[in-house]
Amino acid sequence: MGNRLIGYGSYLPARIMSNADFERVMDTTDQWIVERTGIRERHFAAENETVADMAVAAARAALENAKLKIDDIDMVIVATTTPELDFPSVAVQVVGRMQAQKNIPAFDVRGACTGYIYALHCARAFFTAGMHERIMVIGAEKMSRFVDMTDRSTAVLFGDGAGALIFERSSSSYSGIIDTVVMSDGKKFDMLHGSPDHKIIMNGPETYKQAVTLMPDAARYIMDHAGITPDDVDWIVPHQANLRIIQSGAARLGFPLEKILVTVDKHANTSGASGALALTYAFDNNIIKKGQLVLYPAFGSGLTWGATLIRV
């Protein structure tokens, strides 16, 4: 039992923070940020704008794109690490805010920057088991809530937004989410984690070193499992954290530059929303076309990492 992609949508907050905006409030430069990360700007949600607000906006856009209503969906999964409320889940809030008439099962997945891969992993399992008809998978984050303006080494790296993909059960096992792999190593907790007062604690250089090996490892695992090589893959859409990590990982795997999708310059690191936002951007701009094969590896706090293969 397989699945296929039938809709997509995203939401980016109106407020854009450029590197120049950071130059004005901390000891940093546009040149440093661009050279070390590739980031030029990021969106920051308004103070009263919540993760659920952004998730609802992305969900509405995806439903409109698929020409469906919320009651046509029979499961909602939200990847988020930055919900304002500990309970209920953002996914339940989305279903409620959209006035669903059915009692649609809904839950959140917390996997930091790998969260969207974990959510797709769950969706794939439900399809494989033949348990659900249409699953909406949303990635939504308000990273700006965790940004510590006194720490230039992390403040400039993150952004806010939400993306949503809708998958439908299909008899083909070569469409939609074809495969997923997810992993974790909690012994590396210290490398990157949140603090009780909502700050990002990160050892940047160590995290960088892990990212450039673990993301390609997961990507290679999934290509080997599917019996394919980079030549068979149309696009690699790596988690958008840092342009140097993206390029170095893709080069290790033997992907040419023209097959690498980059949105980190516009969105920065949106953690669990990164993959869905990047894919939606590529669909909207006719960069990734229907039927193409996409390899999406991710890496993040935990440590967690993984990859998925999607025929869009």
**Residues numbered 204-223 forming contacts with ligand UT7, rule: CB under 6 A:** 204-205, 207-208, 211
Cβ neighbourhood burial of 213 (10 Å; 0-12, 13-18, 19+): middle
Binding mask 72-101 for ligand UT7 (x = CB under 6 A): ------------------------------
Which residues from 99-128 bind ligand UT7, rule CB under 6 A? 113
Task: Quote the least distance from Cβ 300 to ligand UT7, whole Å.
Answer: 5
Closest contact distance (angstroms) between CB of 120 and ligand UT7 is 17
CA dist 162 → 70, 80, 253 (Å): 17, 9, 28
User: CA–CA separation, 49 vs 228, rounded Å?
Assistant: 43
Active site residues: 113, 239, 269
Q: Give residues 135-154 in contact with ligand UT7 (rule: CB under 6 A).
A: 152-153
Rg (C-alpha) for the chain, rounded Å, is: 18
Among 37, 144, 263, 308, binds ligand UT7 (CB under 6 A): 37
Identify the CA nearest to 188 among candidates 168, 213, 165.
213
| 24: Cβ contacts below 8 Å, ≥ 6 apart | none
- The DSSP 8-state label assigned to residue 158 in this structure reads B
Question: Does residue 299 bind ligand UT7 (CB under 6 A)?
Answer: yes
Q: Which residue has tokens 């980079």?
A: 230
Q: Which is nearer to ligand UT7, 29 or 173 (CB)?
A: 29
Among 10, 65, 242, 280, binds ligand UT7 (CB under 6 A): 242
Measured between alpha carbons, how far is residue 220 from residues 114, 117, 250 in Å?
A: 16, 15, 11
Residues in contact with ligand UT7 by CB under 6 A are 28, 32-33, 36-37, 113, 152-153, 156, 192, 204-205, 207-208, 211, 239, 241-242, 245, 269, 299-300
